[in-house]
Amino acid sequence: MPVVRSSDSVVHEIHGARFVSYAAPRTGSRELCAWRGEVPAGTKAPVHTVNREEILHLLDGELLVTLDGVAERITAGDTVIVPSGAAFGVENPGEGTAVTWVATSVGLEARLADGTHLVPPWAN
């Protein structure tokens, strides 16, 4: 039975946020990826367009998420479904770190508004 221990997770940092990778091809998952995201207070991640559906569940804190130009404040317990092809942005207007659990399919890629292409290692 594949079990990924917390000590086996891999931490990545980009755009001021931390991505703690658990399920990915490197840990034996062939179809899905999952990670914990940590977004410090005041962090505003750049808007990016994703090529795979993403599910973001907020475990703690609050976030201002923007999906195709529509902003929505979410709080702990809320889930955002990010469709493939959507422009998605995240901002933490709160005072503490927001903690998320995110799942998607293997092969997630993102394109930033400036054209930068990102292949996140926590989702591939």
- Residue appearing with tokens 């891999």: 10
Instruction: List the beta bridge partners of residue 118.
Output: 110
**Which DSSP string do the residues of 17-63 spell out, in sequence order?**
EEEEEEESGGGT-SSEEEEEEEE-TT-BPPPEEESS-EEEEEEESEE
Sequential pLDDT tens for the chain (124 residues): 689 999 989 999 999 999 999 999 999 999 999 999 999 999 999 999 999 999 999 999 999 999 999 999 999 999 999 999 999 999 999 999 999 999 999 999 999 989 999 999 988 8
pLDDT of the residue at 19:
96
Amino acid 1: pLDDT: 64
Query: What CATH class is the domain 7-123?
Result: mainly beta
Pick the closest to residue 90 from 60, 120, 63, 52 (CA basis): 63
* Domain ranges for the chain: 7-123
pTM of this structure: 0.92
